[in-house]
Chain A
Amino acid sequence: MDKRLEPIVQAAQKRYGATYEEFRDEVHLFVSPERIADALALLRHEYDFELLSALTATDYFPQQTPRFHVIYQLTSLAQNLSVQVRVPVNGDNPQVPTATRVYAVANWREREVFDMFGIVFDGHPDPRRILMPEDTEGHPLRKDFPLGYEEPQFTFNFEEIDLRKPYAKE
């Protein structure tokens, strides 16, 4: 770990009960959903992480609980440092407090995460879908959402697949 990151990690551990992991010189802090807004505010205001480089999520369905990780990639321009904050979120009724009050960029990024994963950001000023059409059902980047392809039909399962095929039926 970068020497300059040590006090930051310690502060996050002490104040927000964060744990951390390291891989290829990247530090991942794990923070619980209730404390994420405060933890981000700490990093933003006290440790000068001015830039929220990326905000995304991953879905570990079905191998792992909690199902989702929401990921905040923070960059400090002044210190030239990066740190990643990860928030494990439960699968049913996933909710995370919004980061829009700390980083304005979180507005669109959180809309994207909501659109793609169905994670609701509490207190978000504009909770609409962003990339998919308004009337989309489901959240495409979840692992239980099919990529979409035509199932090959063979003689033994022709009718079974035909029944669920999405073409116009008479």
Chain B
Amino acid sequence: MAHLVEEVNVGQFKHLVSERALTGETMLLNMGPQHPSTHGVLRLLLELDGETIVNCIPDIGYLHTGVEKNMEAKSYQKAEVMSDRLDYMNPMGNNLAYVMAVEKLIDLDVPPRAQALRVILCELQRISSHMVWLGAFGLDLAAMSMFLYCFRERERILDIFELVSGQRMMTTYFRPGGLWRDVPAEFEKTVRDFIKIFPRRIDEYEKLLSKNPILIDRLVGIGYLSKEVALQYGVTGPTLRASGVDWDLRKARPYMGYEQYDFNIPTRPEGDTYARYIVRIDELRESLKIIEQALNKLPSGPWRSQNRKFVPPPRSEIGVSMEALIHHFKLWSEGFSAPKASIYSAVESPRGELGLYLEGDGGPKPYRVHLRTPSFDNLAVLPEIVKGHLVADVVAILASIDIVLGDIDR
């Protein structure tokens, strides 16, 4: 395997490494882009003194697909499909961020039933995203079986998504003004089945991991991130909450009726890798609470706005109403226009604040879309928190901040 370990030339990284690297005293080592624990294609350039990390230089952009530029060339409805593909662990949440931004820009109402269904699906998505995180986290720390258990549960959630939208991932189920269609009759029972078995599963995971001495040895006190540094680096989401900052957009700026539900924001003051693990585990339970409450008072009624200027009419109307036909034709050929103005709207994704800066120019295509993706900023703090740790700890720390490369590179 020796040929895989190759020293990197200092060259362009001169201003980022310590002086000892220039004399060859420390070693520059590539971790990635193809490395199982980087969760995608991330290259970390590590400056090592023996096995201790002196500096870490993340190199990103391998998955850059120009989503923002592509969205500018599509109408508001068509640009939505690109949002699924950003953070591929959280397509429902990305859809929500996008449609909420569009709704804010064009000032469109969303009926209560659609809001409640969006909340249920987004919370299921949060659980499924945390399941992938927990599985990969276990895998990185050599708890192989976690991956299998977590994917078993995630599969049930993806089945629910398939039931409602026809797709397991890349759902594009939320549309500006509501949903693509109403949920099928089996939906409620399927979700209730899931929330019935899932609390026991969380207990099982905790039994396997939370008090596991090997895991505690590898996590407690590793990768300390202080509150001040976290805010300086724009870290959000569970990573920020594990540093003792009580900030969750669902509570702070409730959207989609989150204010009606009773749930807590788990926080931990320690700021280490173990705290980040515990916060996410607790979030699973809170998400279940939200889903159950939302299901219990799921309103009936329309599932998308009746504003025909922005929302296409139902198929049944097209055959009998000339006006409906015109709206249908206009919406699916030209699309709807948005005012010449800009807005910023943000939601709490499983990784943090997922914000959209959306600017219209009066036409049917967005003039500028900027996606403020949480993983980008959460990764930027990595060089600060890995310093002085061992190479093996980089794996644990990176797993604990839960990055998705599609989210970073856009």
A binds B: yes
Residues of A within 8 A of B229 (CB): 104
Q: Nearest CB to that of A113 among chain B residues?
A: B370
**Which of A104, A108, A131 touches B232 (beta carbons < 8 Å)?**
A104
- CB contact under 8 A between A108 and B346, given known A77-B247, A130-B60: no
Which residues of A does B touch, CB under 8 Å?
23-24, 26, 28, 50-54, 56, 58-59, 71, 73, 77, 80, 82, 84, 103-105, 107-109, 116, 125-126, 128-134, 140-141, 145, 147
Name the interface residues of B63-114: CB closer than 8 Å to any CB of A.
64, 66, 68-70, 72-73, 104-105, 107
- CB contact under 8 A between A58 and B15, given known A84-B344, A131-B64: no
Q: Is the CB of A23 within 8 A of B231?
A: no
- CB contact under 8 A between A147 and B343, given known A24-B107, A131-B409, A132-B64: no
Q: Is the CB of A54 within 8 A of B232?
A: no
Residues of A within 8 A of B409 (CB): 131
Q: Nearest CB to that of A63 among chain B residues?
A: B361
- CB contact under 8 A between A73 and B372, given known A50-B231, A51-B234, A105-B232: yes
- CB contact under 8 A between A53 and B346, given known A71-B357, A103-B234, A141-B68: yes
Q: How large is the interface on B (under 10, 10 to 19, 20 to 34, 35 or more residues)?
A: 35 or more
Which residues of B does A touch, CB under 8 Å?
12, 15-16, 60-61, 64, 66, 68-70, 72-73, 104-105, 107, 229, 231-234, 236, 245, 247, 252-253, 341-344, 346, 353, 355, 357, 359, 367-368, 370, 372, 376-377, 380, 409-410
Q: Is the CB of A125 within 8 A of B344?
A: no
**Which of A77, A108, A109 touches B245 (beta carbons < 8 Å)?**
A77
Q: Is the CB of B370 within 8 A of A24?
A: no
Known: A53-B346, A103-B234. 17 other contacts (CB 8 A): A23-B341, A26-B343, A53-B353, A56-B357, A56-B370, A56-B372, A58-B370, A73-B344, A73-B355, A77-B252, A103-B232, A104-B229, A105-B232, A107-B380, A130-B60, A134-B12, A140-B69
When chains A and B are docked, how far (Å) is the Cα of A54 from the Cα of B73?
22
Residues of A within 8 A of B66 (CB): 140
Q: Nearest CB to that of B227 among chain A residues?
A: A50
Q: Is the CB of B247 within 8 A of A54?
A: no
Q: Is the CB of A53 within 8 A of B68?
A: no
A20 to chain B, nearest CB (A): 14
Q: Nearest CB to that of B380 among chain A residues?
A: A108
Q: Which of A52, A56, A80 has the most CB of B within 10 A?
A: A56
When chains A and B are docked, how far (Å) is the Cα of A108 from the Cα of B16?
14
Q: Which of A59, A77, A132 has the most CB of B within 10 A?
A: A77
When chains A and B are docked, how far (Å) is the Cα of A58 from the Cα of B66?
15
When chains A and B are docked, how far (Å) is the Cα of A58 from the Cα of B15?
30
Q: Is the CB of A53 within 8 A of B355?
A: yes
- CB contact under 8 A between A54 and B15, given known A77-B245, A108-B380, A133-B61: no
Residues of B within 8 A of A77 (CB): 231, 245, 247, 252
A53 to chain B, nearest CB (A): 6
- CB contact under 8 A between A132 and B61, given known A54-B372, A73-B372, A77-B247: yes
Residues of A within 8 A of B72 (CB): 147
**Which of B15, B69, B252, B342 touches A147 (beta carbons < 8 Å)?**
B69
When chains A and B are docked, how far (Å) is the Cα of A143 from the Cα of B96?
27
Residues of A within 8 A of B370 (CB): 54, 56, 58, 71
A15 to chain B, nearest CB (A): 24
When chains A and B are docked, how far (Å) is the Cα of A117 from the Cα of B206?
47
Q: Which of B66, B70, B107, B370 has the most CB of A within 10 A?
A: B370
**Which of B15, B355, B376 touches A108 (beta carbons < 8 Å)?**
B376
Residues of A within 8 A of B380 (CB): 104-105, 107-108
**What are 13 A-to-B residue pairs whose CB atoms are below 8 Å?**
A54-B344, A54-B370, A58-B368, A73-B355, A77-B231, A77-B247, A107-B380, A108-B377, A109-B234, A129-B61, A131-B61, A132-B61, A141-B69
Residues of B within 8 A of A147 (CB): 69-70, 72-73
Residues of B within 8 A of A23 (CB): 341-343
A5 to chain B, nearest CB (A): 15
When chains A and B are docked, how far (Å) is the Cα of A80 from the Cα of B72?
31
When chains A and B are docked, how far (Å) is the Cα of A67 from the Cα of B346?
26
A147 to chain B, nearest CB (A): 5
